[in-house]
């Protein structure tokens, strides 16, 4: 393995695929990629295509809606059943003028409690992945989710829940105007690309979201369970970094 690649994988908390460096119980939270939680539900491989909600069911945020109004609208949203069990809606976190936008699936229990995306185990891995390409949460990076409210039992959000919530993500993207969007996992990719994508087929190349390059990659929670795909995740990080460098002319 090239030293650069090895260093990056270490930053991501991803050791060599063939070697478990420490027993799972002893893995520090920030390096949990080699640990495989026994009962973690599979992420989203069976997510059906997105079903748009009827126009009458939703008043989309207008092009004039700024961050404060958007945050208040999301906080009070009752457009789908996910509002019933949430502690709070989780809008997103980070630099509202970021060049980088990462989009996950939906808040889990810790995110629901704290009101910030990716603060649990998968979030620690995401932070390590960001560090691997010289990025830091909040510094030129914004992190959001396809749905803003926690799906009960951490299930995959249903197509109608994603459809009800996606106007908020659309408005966030309009406000942030990122140079690159990264869709982490299948629900995020489907939401943004509006097609029934599979990660294996969609990753490794550039997509287009309304003129903004979009890279599809594995969800960090999936990588925690499936370290055999860590090398592909590394390739995706390289594609992201290269794409951003090209966009910035650096
Ligand atoms: N998984 C996600 O997709 N988003 C979060 O915010 C946390 C875990």
Question: What digits encode the pLDDT tens for the residues 218-235?
Answer: 999 999 999 999 999 999
> Dmax of the chain from CA atoms?
56
Any domain includes 142:
yes
CATH number at residue 111: 3.40.470.10
Any domain includes 112:
yes
Query: Which amino acid residue places its CA nearest to atom 8 of ligand 1?
Result: 118
Helices (H), 38-176: 67-75, 109-114, 121-132, 159-176
Is 107 near ligand 1, meaning CB less than 6 Å away?
Answer: yes
Q: How far is the centre of ligand 1, averaged over its atoms, from the C-alpha of 250 (Å)? A: 31
Q: What's the number of domains the chain is made of? A: 1
pTM: predicted TM-score of the whole model, two decimal places: 0.81
Ligand 1 atom, smallest distance to 184 CA: 3
Parallel, antiparallel, or unpaired for β 100-104 and 141-145?
parallel
Report the alpha-carbon angle 202-36-110, nearest 5: 85
Any domain includes 12:
no
> In which domain, by residue range, is 122 found?
65-248
Any domain includes 29:
no
Please give the pLDDT value at position 13: 63
For 56-91, what is each residue's pLDDT tens digit?
444 568 778 999 999 999 999 999 999 999 999 999
Any domain includes 59:
no
Cβ atoms within 10 Å of 69's Cβ, excluding its own: 13
Any domain includes 47:
no
Output b/e per residue, 184-206; b: 16+ Cβ within 10 A: bbbbbbbbbbeeebebeebbeee
DSSP one-letter code for 78: -
Q: How far is the centre of ligand 1, averaged over its atoms, from the C-alpha of 147 (Å)? A: 9
| Percent of residues, the chain, with pLDDT higher than 70 | 76
For 148-175, what is each residue's pLDDT tens digit?
999 999 999 999 999 999 999 999 999 9
Q: How far is the centre of ligand 1, averaged over its atoms, from the C-alpha of 223 (Å)? A: 13
Please give the pLDDT value at position 2: 56
Is 127 near ligand 1, meaning CB less than 6 Å away?
Answer: no
Pocket test for ligand 1, best of 90, 117, 161 (most atoms within 8 A of CB): 117
């Amino acid at each position: 393995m090239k030293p650069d690649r090895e260093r990056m994988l270490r930053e991501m908390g991803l050791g060599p695929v063939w070697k478990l460096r420490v027993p799972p119980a002893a893995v520090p939270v920030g390096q949990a990629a080699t640990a495989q939680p026994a009962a973690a539900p599979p992420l989203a491989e069976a997510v059906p295509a997105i079903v748009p909600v009827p126009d009458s069911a939703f008043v989309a945020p207008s092009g004039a809606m700024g961050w404060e109004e958007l945050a208040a609208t999301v906080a009070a949203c009752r457009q789908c059943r996910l509002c019933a069990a949430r502690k709070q809606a989780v809008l997103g976190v980070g630099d509202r003028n970021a060049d980088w936008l990462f989009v996950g699936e939906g808040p889990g229990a810790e995110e629901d409690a704290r009101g910030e995306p990716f603060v649990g185990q998968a979030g620690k891995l995401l932070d390590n992945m960001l560090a691997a390409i010289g990025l830091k949460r909040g510094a030129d990076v914004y992190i959001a989710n396809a749905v803003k409210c926690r799906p009960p039992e951490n299930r995959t959000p249903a197509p109608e829940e994603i459809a009800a919530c996606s106007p908020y993500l659309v408005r966030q993207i309009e406000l942030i105007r990122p140079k690159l969007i990264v869709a982490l996992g299948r629900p995020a990719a489907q939401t943004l690309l509006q097609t029934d994508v599979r990660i294996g087929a969609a990753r490794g190349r550039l997509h287009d979201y309304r003129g903004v390059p979009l890279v599809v990659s594995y969800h960090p929670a999936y990588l925690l369970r499936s370290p055999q795909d860590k090398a592909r995740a590394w390739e995706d990080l390289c594609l992201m970094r290269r794409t951003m460098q090209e966009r910035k002319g650096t």
